[in-house]
Amino acid sequence: MGMIETQKKIRRLLDDKNAILLAHYYQRDEIQDIADILGDSLALSIEAAETTADVIVFAGVRFMAESAAILSPDKTVLLPRLDVGCPLADKITVEELQQAKAEHPGTKVVTYVNSTAEIKAHSDICCTSANAVRIVGSLDADTVLMVPDGNLARYTARFTEKEIIPWKGFCYVHNNLLPDEVQKVKEAHPGAPVAVHPECRPEVIEMADFVGSTGGILKFARQTEAQKVIIGTEQGIMHQLKKESPGKTFIPASDHLICLDMKRMTLDDILSSLLEMKHVIQVPEDIRVPAGLALSRMLEASR
Ligand code: 13P
Ligand code: SF4
């Protein structure tokens, strides 16, 4: 079956089953093109919590589908492939988190949504890259332990008086972007602003003109007067950047900004998922309820 035929079949099945397709900006172009909602992690979790659809098909990585299942326990959440993790989410175990909490009594735990349901369940509140500063600001605590992404924690620390204790996790895609690479691209495109994701290392953040979530980077690109922008995040975002700002040029800060897990999902996987109603993502109640509290607190604080 050709690509367009598969896309049409998916759309028909989505309608027949009162299902919606949520897709992240890092997904393959042909998946982004047929999504009901294309967004960053925050926009997708808001939609997952509010949709009236019976079925949510998640084109993203596991933690995203898990969050949808936590927020909408009465809906069927399908993840078309099970081998799409986020390596960052596995950079902290519950035992490590318990130990860190014991070492810093009285500290609030802010957990990046790129985490397992179990870690969320042991947290005070969640955050995404779009709302981390606001979430930390909303807390009644002088010390905040931020897990699992150390770079996001260090970036957030720039905007608060609170003491931020960063966990040591990182995203291999963003952490691998090095200052020398950014410097070379800057020199090749003088005057072009640099927009990066807060999962990048501090030395790269220092070189950026804009730092934000994928949704934030898209907004910056739409609004800037610059005609050329250097992009320091996963390359999947290029598709939407070009669609939203067709007259502008977007230059990847490096050619290795590729998330293998995000790219694993194909249209055929989504088609099989809808035909066979697989793979249903469920979170056991003893984890779902406390994890849901941490996610709902985040949604409440970001309104
Ligand atoms: P956003 O929340 O900015 O969409 O980022 C998600 C992610 O996985 C970044 O690597
Ligand atoms: Fe996880 Fe990094 Fe991939 Fe985002 S880009 S899903 S943080 S591995």
Instruction: Say yes or no to pLDDT of 303 above 90.
Output: no
Is residue 284 packed enough to be buried (19+ CB in 10 Å), middle (13-18) or exposed (0-12)?
A: exposed
Range of the domain at 269: 3-85+262-282
Residue pLDDT, tens place only, 217-231: 999 999 999 999 999
Are residues 160 and 184 both part of a single domain?
no
13 Cβ below 6 A of ligand 2: no
27 Cβ below 6 A of ligand 1: no
Residue whose CA lies nearest to ligand 2 atom number 7? 171
Residue 47's pLDDT is: 95
Are residues 79 and 96 both part of a single domain?
no
257 Cβ below 6 A of ligand 2: no
Are residues 34 and 58 both part of a single domain?
yes
How many A from CA of 129 to the centre of ligand 1? 7
3 state SS of 279:
coil
Are residues 155 and 184 both part of a single domain?
no
Residue 154's pLDDT is: 98
Residue pLDDT, tens place only, 42-80: 999 999 999 999 999 999 999 999 999 999 999 999 999
Residue 22's pLDDT is: 98
115 Cβ below 6 A of ligand 1: no
Are residues 73 and 216 both part of a single domain?
no
How many A from CA of 213 to the centre of ligand 1? 6
What percent of the chain clears pLDDT 90, i.e. is strictly above it? 99
In this structure, what CATH number is given to the domain that contains residue 208? 3.40.50.10800
How many A from CA of 20 to the centre of ligand 1? 20
Of 201, 153, 150, 194, which is closest to residue 174 (Cα–Cα)? Answer: 201
Instruction: Say yes or no to pLDDT of 1 above 90.
Output: no
Taking each helix axis from N to C end, the angle separating 267-276 and 3-16, rounded to the nearest 10 degrees, works out to 30
Are residues 12 and 156 both part of a single domain?
no
Average pLDDT, the chain: 98
151 Cβ below 6 A of ligand 1: no
Residue 173's pLDDT is: 98
State which ligand 1 atom lies nearest to the alpha carbon of 113. Answer: 2
Dihedral sign computed on CA atoms, order 42, 44, 47, 48:
negative
Average pLDDT over residues 9-14: 98
Place 12 in a pLDDT band, splitting at 50, 70 and 90.
very high
Are residues 79 and 99 both part of a single domain?
no
Are residues 197 and 146 both part of a single domain?
no
How many A from CA of 140 to the centre of ligand 1? 26
Residue pLDDT, tens place only, 221-267: 999 999 999 999 999 999 999 999 999 999 999 999 999 999 999 99
What percent of the chain clears pLDDT 70, i.e. is strictly above it? 100
Count of domains for the chain: 3
How many A from CA of 71 to the centre of ligand 2? 21
Residue pLDDT, tens place only, 126-166: 999 999 999 999 999 999 999 999 999 999 999 999 999 99
Are residues 58 and 104 both part of a single domain?
no
Are residues 186 and 157 both part of a single domain?
no
CA distances from 228 to 58, 101, 231, 240, 266 (A): 32, 45, 10, 15, 30
Place 282 in a pLDDT band, splitting at 50, 70 and 90.
very high
Are residues 297 and 149 both part of a single domain?
yes
The amino acid present at 288, given as its one-letter code, is R
Residue whose CA lies nearest to ligand 2 atom number 2? 171
137 Cβ below 6 A of ligand 2: no
pTM: 0.97
213 Cβ below 6 A of ligand 1: yes
**DSSP alpha helices (H): ranges in 83-236?**
94-103, 117-121, 132-137, 150-157, 172-175, 179-188, 202-206, 214-223
